[in-house]
Structure 1
Amino acid sequence: MDTFASSLLSFAHQLFGPGICPGDWVWATSTAGALVALFPVLGAVVVALIRKGTGNRYDTTITAAIGIVGTVAVLVIPWLLLNGISSTYRAARSEPKSSGLSSAELATFDNDYCSFIGNQKQYLGGGRNIYESLFYPHNDKLEYGYYLIALIALPALALLFVKLQANAAMRRGPKWPTRFFWIPFVLLVVLSGGVEANAAVHLWLGFVPISVLGIIPVALVGPPAWSTINRSERPPEKPQPEPYRPPPPPPQEPKQYPPTAMAQEPQLAAAPGPVPVPPGSSAAGSSRYRRIRQLGHGGFGTVWQAVDNQLGRTVALKIAHAPDRDTEQRMEREARALAVVNHPNCVRVYDLVEEPDGLALVMEYLEGQSLSAVVDGNGPLDDIAAGRLWATMAGALAAAHDKGVLHRDVKPSNVIIDPAGLAHLIDFGIARSQGDSTLTATGMMVGTPDFVAPETAAGAPASPASDAWQLAATVSYALAGQPPRGTRETPMAALMAAARAEPVSKLPQRTVHHRLLIASLDSEPRRRPTLTAVRREVEGWLARAGKSPDGPVTRIITPQHTSQRRPLR
């Protein structure tokens, strides 16, 4: 390796070794340091290219490959070259013939230049090494301060930019693989203590500028496409057994429950199938729930604030208007969806009961305002609040998707901000498990036109990517005060605009989330980042901004100004 180091030094001398102060070989040393700095840059570029094809898949093979590239490019080759250059200078001073340099090159070593340099041979190859310069006493305090600054500050500055190169190579992914770059670099600095101190100073002077410029080629490679990331983060598909779907019960007399069974609290079904409805008192005309006030009213039904007379807690009672089979299916679907999702930012379901005026869903009562009311009343959110909203709701939807439940109607009016400023996802009224049959009602529009994903507006099946699009549209509304495609005169016009995948022209411009919004609102579902990727990206930005991702998404709403809003269809 000493031969390669001397050849590199000769090349550096030919490349840039002017005979001016501080000397041709001093300049060549800085040039050699710049050439050594190219190896960490090359390693970061190679890792960025690997991630172009693998995304965020870090199995044993890929992790080992990144580790080997980082160790070789940042530690092994630079360490061998730095020590080889130092050995070349020592040999040129003591045994010129064994240095690997030509006679013409050795002849210039004896030239004196600036007064503070003196003889180049003595300056570069006859002084103390790094450890001796830093840890042995010096008679000249000014000289000691010079070495202290040059041999500590310059490597520290180079470490910063090597780490930035690694961060650029790991964009749109976890940052832990960057340790394969910065840890070897720290070892490089520690293990290079035997290098001649004066030579090391000029090597680092050449190393630092290339480390700064090296961020550019790594950034030009670019991060992996969102489709690659989504594919790499998707767990391997396992064959799923066909879910059991019991046939609808034939018309017959209601089943008689034994007294012991009637005394038990009924449980909601976690798998597709009929949701048990408690027999007894409510069907007979008496209600367990005392209604306080009406919270919302729509085409589908009415939501009441009520009190559970048995448990003494306040609940939200969602009662359907029409007691037909399609309505019951929808109520059962929402009950099943919420029963299997356990997340602090998803509204909880307690029961499904027969009330005197129809089938009723008993849910957690959330005091607060809808996100649409907050934005309409107080103006758009700032980047911190919007980031918290995005990360929180992405976690809630991801929890639902993990259980196979799609929401399919994420929009500002279906996000409730409680008095503490925390966001909650409500109204799973058109949610269903993936694979469930669709509603039998004709003409049923899935989702709200201004916030519906292009593929579902065009008639394609809903997917987790559709929920991700609707959440991004909701965040865009929170930042800009209007839907990403703008508003249309009629719902049909808005639906047609969605089906044609018209561009999102009303995105907020002055926000740090602009690029992630563009990616998440892509008309092609496979190119969108997953909710997991979005959450990681946003939480990473919040952490760098010194903010907690689980804080309030807006100012705390005082109780006297709160109102429960649950839009219905």
Structure 2
Amino acid sequence: MGLASALLSFAHSLFGPGIWPGDWVWATSTAGALVALLPALGAMIVAIIRKGTGNRYDVVTLSVFGGIGVVAVFLLPWLLATGLSQVYQEAASSKSGGQSGFSGSDLSTFNTEYNPLIGTQSAYLGRGQNVYEVLFYPNGMQLGYVFYLILLVGLPALSLLFVMLQARTAFRRGPKWPSRFFWIPFVLMVLASVGMGANTAVHFWLGFLPFSVLGLIPVALVGPPPWSVINRPDPQPRQKVEPYRPEPPAPKPQPQLPPPPAKQYPATALAQAPEPPALAAAPGPIPPPPGSRNSGGSRYKRVRRLGHGGFGTVWEAVDTQLNRTVALKIAHAPDRDTEERMQREARALAVVNHPNCVKVYDLVEEPDGLALVMEYLEGRSLAEIVDAQGPLDDIAAGRLWSTMAGALAAAHEKGVLHRDLKPSNIILDRNGLAHLIDFGIARSQGDSKMTATGMMIGTPDFVAPEQAMGSPASPASDAWQLAATVSYALSGQPPRGTRETPMAALMAAARAEPVSKLPNRSAHARILIASLDQEPRRRPTLTAVRRDVEGWLARAGKSPDGPVTQIVTRRPPQQQPQPHQQPQPQRHPR
């Protein structure tokens, strides 16, 4: 009561005009507004702590957050709210004020009568039924009961909503489940305060609600923890030291029988055939492949041409030795730079081991040029899917983002950057699963830089701003290109919009023009904006993006490794195309 009396006196001096419905009634609402600042203060403290801890929720941080929620949202508000009612009851029952802390001048205004609706403030605030009695044992007019029901239930419910928003704002860029440290104590506080006088509670909540809304502002101004703190790896847990246990005595040696002679098999033609050379397991020079030019033939029988561009031609072919379908990427007019590019692509794919990255089998010389032998995939590119079927929904885009982030992260762990991620370099197979292709301009950390006059790294519409300005590529630039690709999948256009010429698009990227074509009303809008930040150091890492997107998919009840979309069916055996037949639009190599 002493704490509540001090709060009430301060509230009366702060705002207690002598107008209807009375100065102490106004002071009650002012006290409710001051109490509403306590949950906001607790949320601000949590947001400040997370500036240094990020999303590391160990026993200490969880205990601190739970303690803040109990004290700032349950204990102090409950003591003050119930104390206000007790102060009024004590002042109304004693002419001298008793232990209420009211002075003689306070009592003179407290006993002032305003009109028949209120009567004297002492009777209005200090006497009558409490909240529990009004709600469960009403007496009087039906209209009055509806009035109390709306105010005594609706005002706390709305206040709970904004307390939850304060907590979720404090826990931005992280899981939202810790917000229960705030809303659960608030619910307990509301239930525990049913002993307040009903009229006191009404005016208390009338002051609490608007200031719980205003409390969102200081919590939001604190800001979320920086991505550098969120992406910081968790400290390694200490290894548990097992107690020493004496080893049991060794068993007596048993007599060993001589092993049976190995069964001999006659040599076969397959065993006598030389194995193709394996690619290097790490970035470095690739051993020269066996030259089929000198042998006058090729082990790869070409079935049909899949694509043709400035760099070379891609064929669907059959490995006659292993009897499997492969994609044969042949460079026409091979020069030194072209061979180096193909060797770089082979090295990059050889060291990356991920189910959603294209696999490379060999690097050989064909009669018409150097050829890269890769895994063959039936499917269509993401660009074709969006162009033909329209943008993806949030579930499909989330699965796409999570899968490709994992593939890129696996490449980055091996020191390989893609540097040209775009919708046409993502293939969706016949099961709707996404695969990352075309590491043609990828570079490993051990590679030397190529010097090609006028060579532009990346596609202008999807190039990161720092790459367009001439800065070297980095994992952050790959993350930007992936976010731009996901934005395209959700909206059907690049994030900076389209330009008339590639040079105009490149200049727009170099000027770091803001993204203006982001998808409307997407659940991934927040993380998209963060990932498309012009400053590389402010972007979330691929690991943080993947964790955020997979968390959203889990809350939506969806698996992150499900299909993006079902797009093609398996080709019947009798419809195999003849050599040099034009490609079907739904079949692409990886």
Distance 1:267 1:502 in 2: 44
Distance 2:517 2:397 in 1: 12
Q: Shift in Å at residue 465 of structure 1?
A: 0.7
Amino acid at match of 1:10: S
What is the TM-score when the length of structure 2 is the normalising length?
Answer: 0.74
Residue from 437, 442, 465 that aligns with 2:476: 465
Distance 1:453 1:90 in 2: 68
Distance 2:486 2:363 in 1: 35
Residues 411 and 474 in structure 1, CA contact (< 8 A), matched pair in contact too: yes
Residues 487 and 519 in structure 2, CA contact (< 8 A), matched pair in contact too: no
Residue in 2 aligned with 1:243? none
Q: Pick closer, same or farther for the CA change 1:132–1:414 going to 2, 3 Å.
A: same
1:292 match: secondary structure: strand
Distance 2:272 2:100 in 1: 94
Q: Shift in Å at residue 318 of structure 1?
A: 2.8
Residue in 2 aligned with 1:511? 520
> Which runs of structure 2 are paired with 1:110-149 in the superposition (5 Å)?
110-113=111-114, 115=116, 117-131=118-132, 137-138=137-138, 142=142, 149=150
Distance 1:211 1:155 in 2: 11
Distance 2:435 2:2 in 1: 67
Q: Which moved more, 1:529-538 or 1:271-280?
A: 271-280
Q: Shift in Å at residue 175 of structure 1?
A: 1.9
Distance 1:55 1:526 in 2: 16
Q: Shift in Å at residue 458 of structure 1?
A: 4.2
Distance 1:237 1:407 in 2: 30
Amino acid at match of 1:204: W
Is 1:188 the counterpart of 2:211? The answer is no
Distance 2:515 2:32 in 1: 50
Distance 2:122 2:292 in 1: 102
Amino acid at match of 1:195: M
Residues 335 and 349 in structure 1, CA contact (< 8 A), matched pair in contact too: no
Is 1:91 the counterpart of 2:90? The answer is yes
Q: Shift in Å at residue 481 of structure 1?
A: 3.1
2:421 match: secondary structure: coil
Distance 1:236 1:383 in 2: 30
Residue in 2 aligned with 1:102? 103
Amino acid at match of 2:231: E
Q: Pick closer, same or farther for the CA change 1:490–1:92 going to 2, 3 Å.
A: closer
1:43 match: secondary structure: helix
> Which runs of structure 2 are paired with 1:64-79 in the superposition (5 Å)?
65-79=64-78
What is the TM-score when the length of structure 1 is the normalising length?
Answer: 0.77
Residue from 356, 361, 382 that aligns with 1:351: 361
Residue in 2 aligned with 1:413? 424
Q: Pick closer, same or farther for the CA change 1:370–1:147 going to 2, 3 Å.
A: same
Distance 2:562 2:336 in 1: 42
2:328 match: secondary structure: strand
Amino acid at match of 1:92: A
The alignment yields a C-alpha RMSD, in angstroms, of 4.4
Distance 1:355 1:543 in 2: 48
1:427 match: secondary structure: coil
Greater Rg by CA:
2
Residue from 486, 496, 500 that aligns with 1:484: 496
Residues 367 and 562 in structure 1, CA contact (< 8 A), matched pair in contact too: no
Residue in 2 aligned with 1:436? 446
Residue in 2 aligned with 1:159? 160
> Which runs of structure 2 are paired with 1:276-355 in the superposition (5 Å)?
289-308=300-319, 313-321=324-332, 330-331=341-342, 333-339=344-350, 341=352, 343=354, 346-349=356-359, 351-352=361-362, 354=364
Q: Shift in Å at residue 461 of structure 1?
A: 2.8
Distance 2:213 2:406 in 1: 37
Distance 1:157 1:523 in 2: 38
Distance 1:265 1:121 in 2: 98
Residues 326 and 376 in structure 2, CA contact (< 8 A), matched pair in contact too: yes
Distance 1:153 1:287 in 2: 80
Q: Shift in Å at residue 203 of structure 1?
A: 1.7
Is 1:528 the counterpart of 2:539? The answer is yes
2:98 match: secondary structure: helix
Aligned length: 537
Q: Shift in Å at residue 476 of structure 1?
A: 4.7
- Listed one character per residue, the Cα deviations across residues 264-298 of structure 1 (whole Å, up to 9, x for unaligned) are 99876553356689989999666554432111223
Amino acid at match of 1:530: T
Residues 468 and 520 in structure 1, CA contact (< 8 A), matched pair in contact too: yes
Residues 291 and 366 in structure 2, CA contact (< 8 A), matched pair in contact too: no
Q: Shift in Å at residue 544 of structure 1?
A: 8.4
Residues 393 and 425 in structure 1, CA contact (< 8 A), matched pair in contact too: yes
1:211 match: secondary structure: helix
Q: Pick closer, same or farther for the CA change 1:399–1:64 going to 2, 3 Å.
A: farther
Residue in 1 aligned with 2:586? 563
Q: Pick closer, same or farther for the CA change 1:129–1:208 going to 2, 3 Å.
A: same
Residue in 2 aligned with 1:31? 30
Amino acid at match of 2:457: V
Amino acid at match of 1:428: F
Amino acid at match of 2:31: A
Amino acid at match of 1:397: L
Amino acid at match of 2:180: R
Distance 1:483 1:104 in 2: 68
Amino acid at match of 2:448: T
Q: Shift in Å at residue 233 of structure 1?
A: 0.7
Q: Shift in Å at residue 115 of structure 1?
A: 4.8
Amino acid at match of 2:216: I
Residues 476 and 507 in structure 1, CA contact (< 8 A), matched pair in contact too: no
Distance 1:419 1:124 in 2: 72
Distance 1:138 1:376 in 2: 64
Residues 476 and 539 in structure 2, CA contact (< 8 A), matched pair in contact too: yes
Runs of at least 5 residues in structure 1 that lack an aligned partner in the other structure:
239-258
Q: Pick closer, same or farther for the CA change 1:234–1:321 going to 2, 3 Å.
A: farther
> Which runs of structure 2 are paired with 1:206-217 in the superposition (5 Å)?
206-217=207-218
Distance 2:124 2:333 in 1: 94
Q: Pick closer, same or farther for the CA change 1:554–1:481 going to 2, 3 Å.
A: farther
Is 1:447 the counterpart of 2:458? The answer is yes
Q: Which moved more, 1:191-200 or 1:268-277?
A: 268-277
Distance 1:282 1:196 in 2: 97
Q: Pick closer, same or farther for the CA change 1:302–1:31 going to 2, 3 Å.
A: same
Distance 1:273 1:262 in 2: 27
Distance 2:69 2:379 in 1: 51
Residues 344 and 443 in structure 2, CA contact (< 8 A), matched pair in contact too: yes
Q: Shift in Å at residue 380 of structure 1?
A: 5.9
Residue in 1 aligned with 2:227? 229
Amino acid at match of 2:77: P
Q: Shift in Å at residue 302 of structure 1?
A: 2.7
Distance 1:475 1:532 in 2: 16
Q: Pick closer, same or farther for the CA change 1:178–1:368 going to 2, 3 Å.
A: same
Q: Pick closer, same or farther for the CA change 1:268–1:116 going to 2, 3 Å.
A: farther
Distance 1:283 1:66 in 2: 73
Residues 296 and 302 in structure 1, CA contact (< 8 A), matched pair in contact too: yes
Q: Shift in Å at residue 229 of structure 1?
A: 1.1
Q: Shift in Å at residue 164 of structure 1?
A: 0.9
Amino acid at match of 2:442: A
